[in-house]
Structure 1
Amino acid sequence: MDSSTWSRRRFGALAVMAAGALTVGVASPALAEPAVATPAGPAGASAGTSTAVTLPAPTGQYRVGATSLHLVDGGRTDPWAPQGGPRELMATVWYPATAAADAFPRVRYTTAKVGAEYDARLELPAGSVASVRPHARENAPAVSAPGGLPVLLYSPGRGNSRLTGTSVAEELASRGFVVVGVDHTYDSPTELPGGRFVPQSLPAPSPETLPGETRVRADDLRFVLDALVGDRRPPVLAGRLDPGRIGAFGHSIGGAAAAELARTDPRVRAGIDVDGSLWGEARNGLDRPFLLLTAGVDESLLSFRAGHRAWGRQLLVASAGHMSFVDPGVLASAYGLKDRWPAEKYQRAFGSIDGVRAAEVTRAYVTAFFDHHLRGGSSALLDAASSRFPEVTIDWRRD
């Protein structure tokens, strides 16, 4: 995919998601009877059927626990709230859990109100997305590790919820990382305590507004990190975090937020941009390891590559769409949206790669990057073409 085509798709997707939909198109018929689980991937639904979809199973050695956080930043006036007031955020923390996790209840994928937002975007029957089955167990006991567990911050794409990163977060947690997914209130559809639902309400994006949005997101991530390594960490993780091994990653503008956080916060040792343009000063490169995992290249990424001053890679994933890298790609395949949406609409959002395969690719490379840079693991998957992932090519490399 050439740079101009990829850039148009990225910006077009940002504009569409700001309007409250993954993409534009006509409504599809409702789903009906349950389907049989797909052995090679998540439990799924073919065209014309409906069932609770199970996300791809984590492959690491640990069970996965999860807990939610409601955090109020009393030192910052919310720049996006119509009436001002302190910035309120919701976060989910996924972490490696002990075998005792099996006795704990499975967490909800999302709330009914946020799920309804995604039912509408994906044109699914009411309750479909809220019924998706993750693997994490609620407040299960966390493992302990010498020196503590590395911490990763996750920022979702524009107009999207932290739930969209669940599959990769569970994989990372199963491999010994603590992952903190953050809803950026008034951009992410967010349900606050007491059932207070805050829909996405930011105006349509532009090259002039996106750098400011990126800075707000980076400030959100920094505040959550302060809370997590300070005195507001979940009790289940008390004494189990390593504040010296912190990374950040995000999808779309969330990737730009991860880069901005890495630029401005020395605690962040490495980061990943998953299929997003870069906004703000991080476009000029960073002084710490950074990975670009994308479907294409645009001017902002070329600028980053020219100015980057540390380990860096850009990996291109053939046939991927913008939403292939996150959970909606899995749901699109499971619910047979390729057979129900107009071809151009589906291609724009999900490309032609299978959603479960795209999740496998994303999880493998995100895990390999953070394992190498935060735990001293092998860089083999990041240094050369792999027969396991022939759809991935190295487009740029700096050692």
Structure 2
Amino acid sequence: MRQILAVAAGLVVLAASACSAPAPPRAAAGPSATPTGPAVLPAPTGDHPVGTTILHLTDKSRPDPWNLDVGTRQLKVTLWYPTEQKEGERAPYMTPKESEFFLRGSEIAGVPYDTLRKTRTNAIEDAEPAGEKLPLVVLSPGFTKPVSSLTSLAEDLASRGYVVAGIDHTYESHATTLSDGRVVDCIACDSDTDPGFGERVVRGRAADVSFVLDQLPVTWDGSGLIDRSRIAMVGQSMGGAGVMAAMVKDSRVRAGIDMDGSTYARIPKSGFSRPFMFIGSERQVPGGGDASWDRDWKLLTGWKRWIAVTDADHQAFTDIPLLGPSLGIEPVHGVLPAERGAKIARTYVAAFLDQHLKARRQPILDKPSTQYPEVKLCPEHCGQS
């Protein structure tokens, strides 16, 4: 299941992702304009400097669901967290090899394959964690995407006082680095038209999340920062679908956000009472967008919100639009500008988490905001019911 992003003179598969729409034919195209130079992620908006580090975890209790030759499940987990350290080496967005694998897998030509390595981040590599008893947010990316595609959101949350654990779901991305330094590609992409594929993916992602929650306290030296009674999860596209699956399976995840992802895990008919928010593109409106959201909305019995964003496309809440100029991809007319999409994602995700993990009421979640006229609270303000 892949979505192809139309840009300027042709089609670019940079936005390839698992979603509910039928997959169009695969096509390759080079950039449509001169690259502008390295992308620069927007600065975090919170009060804290941000550190980041990487863990490699191995789940010996289960084989890898995609690589039949591997008897254990290996995961790369990227952590972002508050630090007092203001100076130091900025963490790479991707390694040169990850950038190469991702651009090749996305069929992006015409730019050096190490281009995304040069993307400027804000987090300081391996900085000393600071703080105490902070909420934990698990991040899960879209299908074919590494978790680095959510770096801007992760850095912002860490600057606001959260520990963020981003999971690279091995063999579901075009580029995942394993503990021995090998970069592996997307084996699952060979199966993405199989019946039941979505259910299979989210079942595996739920298992990944539970394993990471088990392991963080014993594998990360900074785990003392984490308040394990305050855990939420945020995901985009297939990662959003994984949020619902993880919450159904693991009661430790207290609240969740699905960013523009069709859901596959079934909610019990008795209902689901933990806080949940859908946020998506205009196609995601009650009665006119994703049937899975309509189905699940009726079964959400606790605090819930459904947000549709005018002119947003499927990748609007990720880094993908921010990377476009560095790849020579011109903005699409009529599509939400990259910086605006990032600001909306940061604002509404943080508001949800502040309300449900920090007990800070957020009026922006209760009524339309003049600061964000693109944001519609459904079903009351969507024009459909």
Matching residue's letter, 2:30: S
TM-score, normalised relative to structure 2: 0.86
**Superimposed CA distance per residue, residues 242-301 of structure 1 (whole angstroms, 9 cap, x where no aligned partner):** 000000110001111111111121111100000000002149652200000111131100
Task: Note if 1:71 corresponds to 2:63.
Answer: no
Measured at CA, do residues 74 and 372 of structure 1 come closer, stay the same or move farther in structure 2, by a change above 3 Å?
same
| Match runs of 1:96-111 below 5 Å | 96-98=82-84, 101-111=85-95
- Aligned residue for 2:295, secondary structure, equals helix
| 8 Å CA contact 2:355, 2:362 repeated in 1 | yes
Deviation at 1:84, TM superposition (A): 3.0
Matching residue's letter, 2:211: F
Percent of counterpart pairs with the same letter? 37
| 8 Å CA contact 2:241, 2:258 repeated in 1 | yes
Match of 2:100 among 102, 116, 130: 116
Matching residue's letter, 2:29: A
Task: Note if 1:292 corresponds to 2:278.
Answer: yes
Instruction: Quote the Cα distance in structure 2 between the aligned partners of 1:267 and 1:85.
Output: 27
Matching residue's letter, 1:28: G
Match of 2:114 among 127, 130, 133: 127
Deviation at 1:391, TM superposition (A): 0.5
**Superimposed CA distance per residue, residues 339-386 of structure 1 (whole angstroms, 9 cap, x where no aligned partner):** 6xxxxxx68xxx711111101111110000001000011221111111
Measured at CA, do residues 306 and 48 of structure 1 come closer, stay the same or move farther in structure 2, by a change above 3 Å?
same
What is residue 361 of structure 1 aligned with on the other side? 344
Instruction: Quote the Cα distance in structure 2 between the aligned partners of 1:245 and 1:29.
Output: 43
Deviation at 1:22, TM superposition (A): 11
Deviation at 1:336, TM superposition (A): 4.9
Task: Note if 1:242 corresponds to 2:227.
Answer: yes
Matching residue's letter, 1:143: A
Matching residue's letter, 1:307: L
| 8 Å CA contact 1:14, 1:158 repeated in 2 | no
Matching residue's letter, 1:373: H
Instruction: Quote the Cα distance in structure 1 between the aligned partners of 2:157 and 2:24.
Output: 26
Measured at CA, do residues 390 and 23 of structure 1 come closer, stay the same or move farther in structure 2, by a change above 3 Å?
farther
Measured at CA, do residues 22 and 328 of structure 1 come closer, stay the same or move farther in structure 2, by a change above 3 Å?
farther
Measured at CA, do residues 208 and 150 of structure 1 come closer, stay the same or move farther in structure 2, by a change above 3 Å?
same
**Superimposed CA distance per residue, residues 43-88 of structure 1 (whole angstroms, 9 cap, x where no aligned partner):** xxxx313412110110100000000000000111212113131100
| 8 Å CA contact 1:14, 1:205 repeated in 2 | no
Instruction: Quote the Cα distance in structure 2 between the aligned partners of 1:185 and 1:361.
Output: 29
Task: Note if 1:310 corresponds to 2:302.
Answer: yes
Higher helix share: 1
Match of 1:138 among 125, 130, 135: 125
Matching residue's letter, 1:213: V
- Aligned residue for 1:68, secondary structure, equals strand
Deviation at 1:90, TM superposition (A): 0.3
For structure 1, the 5+ residue unaligned runs are 1-6, 31-46, 340-345
Instruction: Quote the Cα distance in structure 2 between the aligned partners of 1:293 and 1:206.
Output: 27
Instruction: Quote the Cα distance in structure 2 between the aligned partners of 1:266 and 1:371.
Output: 19
What is residue 328 of structure 1 aligned with on the other side? 320
| 8 Å CA contact 1:152, 1:177 repeated in 2 | yes
For structure 2, the 5+ residue unaligned runs are 5-12, 381-385
Matching residue's letter, 1:113: K
- Aligned residue for 1:223, secondary structure, equals helix
What is residue 187 of structure 2 aligned with on the other side? 201
Once the two structures are overlaid, the 10-residue window that deviates more, 328-337 or 314-323, is 328-337
Match of 1:279 among 264, 273, 279: 264
Instruction: Quote the Cα distance in structure 2 between the aligned partners of 1:332 and 1:282.
Output: 37
| Match runs of 1:144-163 below 5 Å | 144-145=131-132, 148-163=133-148
Task: Note if 1:176 corresponds to 2:178.
Answer: no
Measured at CA, do residues 359 and 334 of structure 1 come closer, stay the same or move farther in structure 2, by a change above 3 Å?
farther
Deviation at 1:330, TM superposition (A): 1.1
Deviation at 1:26, TM superposition (A): 4.5
| 8 Å CA contact 2:202, 2:241 repeated in 1 | yes
- Aligned residue for 2:206, secondary structure, equals helix
Measured at CA, do residues 177 and 211 of structure 1 come closer, stay the same or move farther in structure 2, by a change above 3 Å?
same
Deviation at 1:396, TM superposition (A): 3.5
CA RMSD of aligned residues (A): 2.6
Instruction: Quote the Cα distance in structure 1 between the aligned partners of 2:24 and 2:91.
Output: 25
Match of 1:393 among 376, 379, 382: 376
**Superimposed CA distance per residue, residues 81-111 of structure 1 (whole angstroms, 9 cap, x where no aligned partner):** 131311000010000111xx22321111112
- Aligned residue for 2:360, secondary structure, equals coil
What is residue 342 of structure 1 aligned with on the other side? none
